[in-house]
Structure 1
Amino acid sequence: MLADDPDYSFDILEARHAIEASTAWHAAMRATDADKEIIRLCFEATQSEDPDIASQADVRFHLAIAEASHNVVLLQTMRGFFDLLHSSVKQSRQRMYQVPPVFARLTEQHQAVMEAIVAGDAEAARQAMMGHLGFVHATIKRF
């Protein structure tokens, strides 16, 4: 099975990098006030003390950004990716969120993505998402 392949999690991250940089860019250009509020609520829920709630909120945060892109193909791709995304995020959180400085960086990165989208700064949103997923990739390699 592919999930047993040690490189599989990196393949998922590569795919996420390609898709989510675009969803963040489009979300910054097209998000409604309601979309922005959902993204904010998902971000806040990622801070939950319950690791299951936090990992689900993390996935929901990324999906909310895809929804805010108002691009049906990107959204369908992300939704089709949901199970893989949830598994990837849960594994990443288990590895990285045990280290407080790493947790703080990830929280800052999520906040930067959210703030760029709320501000309507598409390039900053794209860069923030690329930086976030690049950091996740590099950090997982270390753990």
Structure 2
Amino acid sequence: MTADRVQIRLQDPAALGELLGKVRADVDGVDGLVVTSRDGIVLAADLGPGTSHPDDTAAQAAAMAAASAGIGYRFVQASNLGRLQGVVLEGDRGCVGVQPLSGTLLLVLLGAPGTVMGRFTVAVKRVLAQLLAPATD
């Protein structure tokens, strides 16, 4: 499959929502996923069955992802560290990450409670591999 087919799959909200649900269920340490445009518009989300107000949570995550990616980009650029690969924040009860999916899309990953940075980093790599893998139709 070409990169164009991967891009098309990522831009189809219905297919993307279904894919996010499968990935969330498959990858330990990730409780929620949101795909957003770089300006904070939610394209698709899967936040799991226990999330109250999932639309509000997805919208807030998308807005904060856009801001954190922008700040991260500037920070990496000012530090001469190359191209931004992602932003991961660790709290006392888990992690949250923002990863570029393309030039126009970001992925927000909400870590499961108690997930530490090392395990979360591995989970992020697994999620990205599944989302960016060629579709098997």
What's the TM-score, normalizing by structure 1?
0.29
Q: Judging by fraction of residues, say which structure has more helix.
A: 1
Higher relative contact order (CA 8 A, sep 6+): 1
Q: Judging by fraction of residues, say which structure has more strand.
A: 2
What's the TM-score, normalizing by structure 2?
0.30
